[in-house]
Amino acid sequence: MAPVKTDTKFDVLGLSHETLVNQLASMGEKPFRARQIMEWVYKKQTYDFAQMSNLAKVLRDRLVQEFRVSDLGLHKVQRSQRDGTAKYLFRCEDGQLVESVFLPHEGRNTACLSTQVGCAMGCKFCATGESGFARNLTPGEIVAQVIGMEADQGQEIHNLVLMGMGEPLHNWDNVREAMSALLDPAGRNWGPRKITLSTCGVVSGIDKLTESGLKLRLAVSLHSADDQIRSQIMPINQRYPLKELLRSLRDYQKATELQLTFEYTLFKGLNDSRDQAHAVASLLKGLDAKINLIPYNPVSGLAFDAPSFDQVVAFQEVLKERGLIAMVRTEKGGDIDAACGQLRRREQ
């Protein structure tokens, strides 16, 4: 992948080791220089090339002239008084707004990152989809969300979920580059199991993920085991129906031996019946999978309602009776704009 140029400068942040090696080689520099630069940026959190003292001054001067490190301006932050969750709205250099979420847990903090400005998938229940698609985020803008939240919180982030604005597999090249940088020993040195990629079911992207060898945890937005209902709320199902989706997921599980996660949002009167639960159990038969049940969080202006507590419990019981791991997701940040895209939508 070619490095991203902004204002005539190459953005170092988010570049994989391989890409940075290639760019430096075009300048006549040795491969080890890439690892040195990554260690300054990720380990020492130094973004001023002039301060990278183990680099030759000639190289430092050239880096100052030709390279940069992405930065996102903190536009707004909402902090939950209940559980410490914080929702961030960052401003990109072109003025676009992007959401991220900091989720504190005892002993480990998780960041929910966006991969696009808006989303082109058009899921009918999603506030992000309602705002439309603007553009892909660069590798640097993806990684800069982590750095921005850590700087504000004064705490390290340990796990990532790519569940914010956008479809990660619709921006696969940039996502792969950013994740490769974070996984690299000279980057954050995270294990791939610390990163969960969430997709609405872009089969071509799942196949690319399988081929890449990046053994990330995979979460799939399912929401129905019926093609007609799923197509009604998720247009992607018209292109990649459930049969194709399940084929790609079996291939991924065979290649990685990782458990799959299925996200299932329950909508009152649409997909929350016991019959629907049995259909889900039949669809996922033979997969090593767990299911997160998510009672719908109403979004103003969208025509969906939350199910009753009893209906959620009844749905969960059917799945458990059929031998599946099924959990009801605990709501975090319920006293702030919890649903993805709400804060950006309100600001716009």
Catalytic positions, written as ranges: 99, 340
**CA distances, 267 to each of 215, 305, 306 (Å):** 32, 6, 6
**Cα–Cα nearest to 80, from 345, 267, 330, 348:** 330
Both tokens of residue 84?
Answer: 């410490």
Identify the sign of the CA torsion 264, 132, 16, 105: negative
Both tokens of residue 234?
Answer: 């998720």
Report the C-alpha gap between 163 and 78 in whole angstroms: 18
Say which DSSP state 31 is in. Answer: T
DSSP annotation string for 247-299 = HHHHHHHHHH-PPEEEEEEE-TTTT-SHHHHHHHHHHTTTS-EEEEEEE----
Report the C-alpha gap between 48 and 57 in whole angstroms: 13
CB 144 within 8 A of CB 194: no
Report the C-alpha gap between 107 and 326 in whole angstroms: 24
Q: Which residues pair with 266 in a beta bridge?
A: 295
